[in-house]
Structure 1
Amino acid sequence: MKAATTLLTFATAAMLWGCGTSNSTDSTEAADSANEAVADSGQATGTTAVAEEDSKFAVDAANGGMAEVQLGELAQNKGTDPKVKEFAKMMVTDHTKANDELKALAASKNITLPATPDEDKQKISTDLSAKNGKDFDKAYIDQMVEDHEKTVKLFEDGQKNVKDAEIKAFIDKTLPVLKSHLDHVKNLDKTK
């Protein structure tokens, strides 16, 4: 029975995934839709599913984490200031590690994560790509301050609202790293 329920859940999520992406290239929206389908099918069949708020947190965290890696790689290539490049390298390393942990956790909880950053994050990357030299360095640092302020808030809210113990443990482990990134990038911003 459980196998049939799981199969039904995956089929429903796949259908929504396919339908949701025909008019949109935003894999974050598709992941949210797939997770809603899993939650709905779990409620309909009486099986336990991760709370919708918990899967929404995971999707948002993955979206931000992938964007940090993408922008960090860009800054390693386009940055001119060695401190900016060093920070970008740290972003790629730390966020890749957190992303991998989140992927494994999400898989164990039957949470669908986006495959790529959402359209807003992609636009930020495109806009940054158009900049060069010191303009790029300054724009990247400004973006990192903004992104990390939002991400720290997301994780702080997650500490209060997430119900799943393992996701909460991920938040508790990752939040201090995010706060140190924010402090680091704010200090870099003061020098620019």
Structure 2
Amino acid sequence: MSLFTPDRLFSRVTRIDVRFDLLDQGIDTVLLDIDNTIRRRDTAEVPVDVRQWLRLLADGGVACCLLTNNWHADVHDLADELGLPVVAKACKPVPAGYVLARRRMGAPAERAVMVGDQLLTDVLGAHLAGMRGYLVAPLVEHDLPHMALLRPFERMAVRGRMPEGSACRRTEAQAGDSGT
């Protein structure tokens, strides 16, 4: 598989099923991007379904560490609010941040996955660090100027692949929301 090819592609972070897509794949540690993966870039809010998914991770025994290039104090505030460790100023896709986050969580590369919305930082860096990389669609289309220039390349790299997370395999949180 190419360094630029995500191991899995999902329509939203909450479409990653804790049991099927993580635990059954031998993954017990998730390194998680922040901006536009779990927090909306336009409002800086973490949607309710994402908060529920994070609880499902913890309840399922999956460790999680936030990994971000962001260096502002708000990422530390968010980590505190969510009760998660964070590695900020990670310089993704440089592997050092990924290795630091994995070591902090006590996880070898084969049991960890990076989940993020950017192919050229999150997925590429994960692969350079010897890990799997799951790509998710950004929460919102609002992007930083440099990312807006890179998104067409990302679309080309995943052209023809349908995002996983169809309605037939909903997470427990989504099933709970529908009252079933």
For Structure 1 versus Structure 2, the TM-score category normalised by the shorter chain is under 0.3
- Whose helix fraction is larger, Structure 1's or Structure 2's? 1
Higher relative contact order (CA 8 A, sep 6+): 2
TM-score normalised by length of structure 1: 0.26
- Whose strand fraction is larger, Structure 1's or Structure 2's? 2
TM-score normalised by length of structure 2: 0.27
**For the pair shown, which has the larger CA radius of gyration, 1 or 2?**
1
